[in-house]
Every structure is written in C-alpha cells, then in structure tokens.
Amino acid sequence: MNLSELSEQEIFRRNSLDEMRKLGINPYPAEAYEVNVSNKEILDQYKPELNNYQEVSVAGRVMNRRIMGSASFAEIQDQTGRIQIYIKRDDICPGEDKTLYNTVFKKLLDIGDIIGVTGYVFTTQMGEISIHVHELKVLSKSIRPLPIVKEKDGQIFDAFTDPEQRYRQRYVDLIVNPSIKDVFIKRAMIINTMREMFNSKGYLEVETPILQPIPGGATARPFISHHNALDMPLYLRIANELYLKRLIVGGFEGVYEFSKDFRNEGMDRTHNPEFTVMEIYVAYKDYNWMMDFTEEMIERVALALHNTTQVIFGDKVIDFKRPFRRITMIDAIKEYTGIDINGMDENQLREVCKSLEIELMPSMGKGKLIDEIFGEKCEPHFIQPTFVIDYPVEMSPLCKKHRTNPELTERFELMVNGKELCNAYTELNDPIDQYERFKDQLALSEKGDDEAMFIDYDFVRALEYGMPPTSGMGIGIDRLTMIMTNQVSIQDVLFFPQMRPEKKAKLDDASAYTDLGIAVEWIPVLQKLGFTKIENLKQSSAGKLFNDLCGFNKKNKLGLANPTMDDVKKWVEQ
C-alpha cells in the first residue's frame, strides 16, 4: 500500500496517525481499557433525580461529531447502541496546554475511531442523556472512512444498502447498520433454545467428522478434498446422519449435533454452499413421537424470540402454536388436485402428471413422479406449519418402510411458508433392507445419477450389530432463522455468505518498469495515472507524461525527486 493508491480522505487519516505519534499518543495502545457500563444501561437506567452514573467509563466507535469552538458533541457506539458525549475544551485540558482538544480531538480524530471516555452522565438542554467527558483516550485509529448513515425519527438517510458491499464487508454493514445485528442475535437464541431443550431431556451433544471418506446421509453432490499423507480423497460432509446413527448403535439413546454441511450445488436465495443443520436421533421412538417433539421445539423457539407463537413473515402471519396440521402425501395430492393416486402404478402416475401438465423425464420412477406432483401442486400451499407424512419408499433410502404399507416410508417433512423446514424418519434399522436400498442407489448411480448415495459398508456393518428402533430429525437452521426473522435471503442470516472472489485489475510487474530505468518510487504513481501496463506507457506522449508526473508529485506532496524530461523520453521511446 502506498500513498498514490489511497483516496484523499485515507491520506488525511494516515497523516493524522503520524501526527498523533509525534504528539506521543499511541493510536493503537496495548493496555486494556476499563469499561464500567454499557451505553444501553446508561440510557435505560439514568435518572437525574438519583444523580446516578456520575463516574462512568465507556468505550466505542465515534459515529458522529458536531464541533463548535471550544465545546463539541459526538456520539460513540458500543455493542449496545450509541450515546452522546459532550466534550468541553477546558474540562479535558485543564492546564495551559489545549492540544488534546484543539488538535487531537478536533483535527486528528475522525468518525470511525475507537475511543474511551470517562465522565459523568447528565441531560442536555435538548433533553438528551449524554456523558460529560473529563478524560478521553484514543484506543484505535481508523484510517479508512466509513459510509455515513444518518437517521432521524426512524427515517434513514443515505443508507448503506449495496448488497455486494454489505456481504463482502460485513464488518462495515454491522457498524453502520446495527439493526442487522438483531438477526444474528436471534439466530443464536434459536440455537440456544434448541440446545437447552435437548440438554434438559438428557440428550448428548456430539461432534462427528466433517471430513468423510464416504459422503453419506443425503443425496447431493459433495465437495472433494484430498488427504496427502493417506493419499486418498476425503469429502466434506453433506450430512451427518450415518455417524449419529452409529452412536445410537453404540448405546447412546439420544444424540444431536449442530453441523455445518457442504453441498457443491447452485447458489440462490435459499442455498449457500455451506449451511447449518441440526440433526437429532432418539432411540426407542418413532416418527409420531418425533412430530410431537418437533412441534414442541419450534413452538419454544418462536416463544423465545417473539413471546408469541405468531410470527410475521412478509405479508403473512405464521402461527407456530401446537399442534400442527398433519396430512399424508397422498391425501395432500387428493386435496389439491382432486386425484387419488393411491395404488396407482408408474404408467397411471405418468398419465396423471400429463393431465396436470407436469414436465417429465423418462428416468423418473414411481416415487419421483409422486414427489413431482406434490412439489408442483401441493407444496406451495402449505403456508402454516404442516407435517406432510408417508413418502414413497424410492425417495427415502434411509427410512423405515411404513408399518402398514410397504410402498411408503415413515417419513415426515415439516412445511412452512410453502417450503420444507424439517425432515424426519422412523429410522431404517433392518441391515438387510438397508443394504438392498443402498444397492438400489448404486444402480441409480450407474444410470448416471451423480447424486445417488454411495454404499457405506461400515454403516451396514453397524446396523448388523443391531440398532434400536430410532427416530431422527433434521432441521435447516438457516431457513429456520429466515422464517423466524422475516428474511427472504439466506445471505441475510449468514454473516459471511459465499461470494465470488473480488478480482483485481492485472498490473505489470514492477520489474517491467525498472527494466526501463524507472525508479521504484515512481511505479505506483505511473499506475495511479493509468499506466498499469508498459504498453500504455509507450503509446503516451513524453511531454504530457512529464507534466503529469511532476504535477502529481507536487499535488500529493510526495516529495519525490522529479525525473528529467530526458528520463521520461527514454522511458517512452525505449
């Protein structure tokens, strides 16, 4: 980084940094700064009649300054919010030397700097609770200007809204749009509420491998990595289901994991390549029990966040009050299409799809056809939380067959706002059946389905030792957070959503310049003037270039020794 690449404002700030050091002020001090109260606590608890908070010490980022002669106001922002501070020259500079106020505060400090102040709380004539400062300390100098956002009575002026910048520089977004912190605080509350519930019921939080030799537990394309020492591929997990079930085999009767999973697929408003899922497995339970459990969990989450089961999402109100509606997939299709597909064979189902104008692929089997009908005609209608149960067996290779109908499985999905939120099974624990289902997946894979499951022989071996009847459930934490915080984009519930890398313009190497006899210190100047490639330089006029260089040097006070006209001619003409 050098001066010619910086904006004017950045140069001013770097100069301020040097000035501070010359005055003996360390702009980045090492020692701790003791804070004894938060801004929010002062604003909530200060009462003039109690005369409380008369010795406070707070720290935060300067977000606003109004300087007037020998007294000034500023606002500093800590994690809890902003408070106004009042600084009077003769208070922070009681002696003859007024440098701290006149120079440090008025000239060298900027919006964005982090400072600590001590003083007493009072109310201004305008009625605003403020801190009357008697000591001020620089804690960290900011040398890059923040976007300036102003706000009055809830109306925002010049909001920082560009999504690209907000996601790429989330730290800036969090500073200038503090309200977005709320989404992430709620996200943590969701996770904490679930964890407390599971722990109170005696289930064990566990960790299972993220790097897996066989990516199992779901149908999705994985990210592939490589282990050098073992010289073998390893996959980032697409799910953790098979490992959690191994722990049930091992004798734990309730295990859960909040797990980052990874899927190498498209990205859009509801998909990020890495995402968070909670999966839980409980022994000696079935999917009916798990529906009750899921209802309880979701209702608790809604109450923890909103103190009510009614949650606003867009223009809808979604009510998470128990019990949720339950409907079989076949009944759902009957409800929304009027067609009873019960007992139909593959050809009959194809006819149904045609009559409903659903696009088909020849490779689709019976289960896939039913799933298409449901996805097209039913799924979007389930706005209020609804358990859709009893899915076709072909769709669910890890799920136990239905106790009364072998073509179905004991599976449910929880639909909210027309989208899947949870997925749960009575888990398949028949090792021979499981092996057969894996083999069916292998057949699919050989037909070219690159998402079909791998056979996990070790998992089958585990089942052969015997797994108790078990029910398991998975829930997408990102999507749950979206619904609970009224966000339509997954990028708004992830601090750092995946983005394409920023691309920097390609510059010619420094040696290309020095080869022409150009001094190193002039290279950035030339680049700033647009000569990022030697070719461009050779096409320019020596006279103009000479003028531009000397002018740039003077204007930016770089203090470089100007080249001679002959030098410049040589560069251009070589």
Question: 541 near 547, Cβ under 8 Å?
Answer: no
Nearer to RNA, 441 or 470 (CB): 441
Nearer to RNA, 293 or 391 (CB): 391
- 18 touching RNA, by CB under 7 A: no
- DSSP class of 267: -
DSSP of 457-517, one letter per residue?
HHHHHHHHH----EEEEEEEHHHHHHHHHT-S-GGGTSSS---PPP-PPP---HHHHHTTT
Enclosing H/E stretch for 89: helix 89-92
Question: 119 near 133, Cβ under 8 Å?
Answer: yes
Nearest distance in Å: CB 419, RNA: 9
Dihedral sign (CA 447, 448, 452, 455): positive
Nearer to RNA, 251 or 448 (CB): 448
Give the binding range for RNA (CB under 7 A) out of 49-57, 159-167, 248-256, 306-314.
Answer: 159-167
- 271 touching RNA, by CB under 7 A: yes
Q: Which two tokens stand for residue 170?
A: 């989330």
Q: Amino acid identity, residue 398?
A: L
Cα–Cα distance measured from residue 287 to residue 404, given in angstroms and rounded to the nearest whole number = 14
Q: Which of 14, 40, 65, 350 binds RNA (CB under 7 A)?
A: 65
Among candidates 490, 435, 492, which has minimal Cα distance to 263?
A: 490
- 1 touching RNA, by CB under 7 A: no
Given the structure tokens 């097209």, which residue do they identify?
A: 376
Q: Which of 73, 120, 184, 313 binds RNA (CB under 7 A)?
A: 73
Among candidates 468, 470, 328, 461, which has minimal Cα distance to 407?
A: 328
Q: Which of 21, 260, 269, 322 binds RNA (CB under 7 A)?
A: 269
Nearer to RNA, 252 or 258 (CB): 258
Give the binding range for RNA (CB under 7 A) out of 46-54, 160-168, 207-215, 224-232.
Answer: 160-168
Q: Which of 209, 418, 517, 530 binds RNA (CB under 7 A)?
A: 530
Q: Which of 193, 212, 527, 553 binds RNA (CB under 7 A)?
A: 527
**Length reported for the chain:** 574
- 148 touching RNA, by CB under 7 A: yes
- 150 touching RNA, by CB under 7 A: yes
- 393 touching RNA, by CB under 7 A: no
Nearest distance in Å: CB 417, RNA: 14
Give the binding range for RNA (CB under 7 A) out of 49-57, 58-66, 306-314, 465-473.
Answer: 58-66
Q: Which two tokens stand for residue 317?
A: 């109100």
Nearest distance in Å: CB 384, RNA: 19
Hey, which residues between 305 and 364 contact RNA (CB under 7 A)?
359
Q: Which two tokens stand for residue 333?
A: 């299709």
Q: Which of 32, 68, 520, 561 binds RNA (CB under 7 A)?
A: 68
Nearer to RNA, 201 or 381 (CB): 381
Nearest distance in Å: CB 494, RNA: 11
Q: Which of 90, 135, 335, 464 binds RNA (CB under 7 A)?
A: 90
Hey, which residues between 487 and 516 contact RNA (CB under 7 A)?
489, 491, 499-503, 505
Report the first-to-last Cα separation within the chain, whole angstroms.
Answer: 29
Question: 425 near 411, Cβ under 8 Å?
Answer: yes
Q: Which of 420, 433, 508, 521 binds RNA (CB under 7 A)?
A: 420
Q: Which of 71, 180, 442, 542 binds RNA (CB under 7 A)?
A: 71
Size of the site for RNA (CB under 7 A): 79
Please write down the long-range contacts of 90-98, taking CB distance under 8 Å and 24 or more positions apart.
91/132, 91/133, 91/134, 92/133, 92/134, 92/135, 92/136
Nearest distance in Å: CB 283, RNA: 23
